[in-house]
Structure 1
Amino acid sequence: MPLYAALIYAADVDWTRPEYAAEMKEYNEFGAAAAAVIRGGNALYPTATATTVRVSGGKGGEVLTTDGPYAETKEALTGFYLLECADLDEAVRVAATIPAAWAGAVEVRPVIQF
């Protein structure tokens, strides 16, 4: 069956903090309910912990790093699930039950398997 990445865009917060315990409970409930199709996934630390990497001049060029995310946005990429579903319709149905879909967004993309 094909794999789909469900990319979670939500508030840029540290989900490990106690004040997000109620929302994390919802994610745990989603994980239990969708366990049959989840093949992986994790939450990400806030974008303030990101390092953006670019190579000036292409391959072999100077490596340039910038603290923080690539772009400033209201919602940030905060995590992902790897879903194994029969088709895009099933992946969308599953993604609609991810808590971020209720107040943020979940982007579903097919995965190229090499």
Structure 2
Amino acid sequence: MLKRIYHANATVGLDESHFFRVLPGESLTSFVDGELRWYLHNNELVMQGQDNIGGYWYFHNLSLGNYRISFTYRNSTQSELNKLFLPIVIENLWAGKVTTPLVEFWLVN
């Protein structure tokens, strides 16, 4: 297991373009943009990326080897989400959890 951190240090003005529109029975493919970065100050390899609403995610202490990664998208109830996104109210917003399939990658020398 890798140490994972997620944080947001700014808020982005949300609008409907920040959300995926998928109807029941449909599927959606989305890509997570990330990069590997070497931090000299603490001699550490980190995989990191940014989401589209001002948040950042990091996986710390990577080394040579095989990895499998998956992302989980989870949101709360309709009313909790609308409180979060005020003044925007989005009707019929799905509440639940979905996990992407595992993707395997290798870090080699």
TM more than 0.5: no
Greater relative CO (CA pairs within 8 A, separation 6+):
1
TM-score by length of 1: 0.23
Q: TM-score, normalising length from structure 2?
A: 0.24
